[in-house]
Structure formats: structure tokens, C-alpha cells
Amino acid sequence: MKRSEMKVKKKKEDIILSAIAIMNRQGTKGATMEQIAAELLMTKGSLYYYFRNKEDLIFQCHVLVLSRANEDIQQVVSSDKSYEERLREMIALHIDYAINEKETFNMIIRPDKTFAEDQLQPLFEKRAIYSRFFDEIIERGIESGEFEKVDVRMVRMILLGAMNWIQQWYKEDGKKSIEEIQQVYADYLIKLLK
């Protein structure tokens, strides 16, 4: 990739990151192209140089976030630790996302209904891949005897739901630190598999 292409890619990413931040603060409809541009000290018009329209920008936001999340979780999944250990790490990572990258995180867990079918498809697939990482670890854990036999899909849903919810109540100055939450959640959630 040439220097110039790199630069464009970088710029696009900057824009996407800003957009994600604002959209999660104010919702998809609430975030205006003007604001997004302003945040980056650009003009509205410039945004349209990089993205065809608002929908396109939103779409790319989702793509970026989901791709990154899948890369990260893959790292954890493919280690050679015990399944419980790996699941604990996955939980910690997911919670970290939920809290520290709250903004991007919402893009992972909540689909945007404004997309057309053909755009929705690739997003759903990426989300499915993310889920499957959890299923995989649970299944293999059961096979190995580390975990008790459970309804894998249901348990995965419970895990994810419980974790996704954290961002709704977490406060930096709350009683529990992030590490504590990661610890407590892992302990309780692993209980479902024992």
C-alpha cells in the first residue's frame, strides 16, 4: 500500500473513531455530520470526500469495531491454557470492552436497524463469528470434562447479556474497580458451567 493510501486509511479511521464516540453519546440520529466533522476540525464537506453519506459512515463504524473485536478475542481463544482459564480471559476482555470502550462496544452488541439487507448481512456474520468463539470454548470445555454439560447457546446468551449490561451501571468512582468486576463476574459466570 502506498503512502497516500495509508494516509487516507488513517484519516478514515480517525473519522470513524470520532463518529463512534459521538453516536454512542447521542444515538445514530442524534449525531450530526457537522458535529463529527467539527470534532476532527474538518468541515462537513470533507467528510463527504471520505464517505458517500451518513449511512455509509455508520456502516463502516460497525465494520471496523466488529473486525477489531474478532481479532482480539481470537488471540485469547487460540492460546493453550485450560478452557476455564481461556473463558475467564474472554470474560475479562469483553468486560474491558464494555467499560473502557463503551462507545465502540455498543456497535458490537446492538445492531442498527437503519441498514438495508445487503449491508446488514456482513455485520450479522461478524457478530456471529464473535459469538461462536464463546460457543467453541464452552463446547470444548465440556468435551474435555472441564465444564459440565449445558445448553451451550443459552449459557452463552446469559454470559454475554450479563456482561453487556455492565456498561449501563458502571461508574468510575463506584464501589468496584474494573478488575474486581472482572473477577466477580468470571467467578459467578463460571459457576453456570460447573
Partner DNA sequence: TATGAATGAGGATTCATTCAT
Partner DNA sequence: CATGAATGAATCCTCATTCAT
- Placement of cell 466488529 in the chain: 66
Q: Which is nearer to DNA, 19 or 73 (by Cβ)?
A: 19
Instruction: Say if CB 193 and CB 148 are below 8 A apart.
Output: yes
Q: For 5, phi and psi rounded to 5 degrees?
A: -65, -40
Which one, of 6, 27, 10, lies nearest residue 112 by Cα? 27
Regarding 17 and contact with DNA (CB under 7 A), the answer is no
Regarding 151 and contact with its own copies (CB under 8 A), the answer is yes
Regarding 51 and contact with its own copies (CB under 8 A), the answer is no
Regarding 46 and contact with DNA (CB under 7 A), the answer is yes
Q: How far is the CB of 67 from DNA (least distance, A)?
A: 22
Encoded one letter per residue, x for contact with its own copies by CB under 8 A and - for no contact, window 9-48 reads ----------------xxxxxx------------------
Segment near DNA (CB under 7 A); pick from 28-36, 91-99, 101-109, 139-147: 28-36
Instruction: Say if CB 102 and CB 163 are below 8 A apart.
Output: no
Q: Where are the alpha helices (DSSP H) in 78-177?
A: 83-100, 102-109, 117-143, 152-164, 166-169
* Interacting residue with its own copies among 38, 63, 129, 192 (CB under 8 A): 192
Instruction: Say if CB 74 and CB 177 are below 8 A apart.
Output: no
Instruction: Say if CB 54 and CB 15 are below 8 A apart.
Output: no
Encoded one letter per residue, x for contact with DNA by CB under 7 A and - for no contact, window 48-77 reads xxx-xxxx----------------------
Binding site for its own copies (CB under 8 A): 25-30, 109-111, 113, 150-151, 154-155, 157-166, 168-169, 176, 181, 184-185, 188-189, 191-192
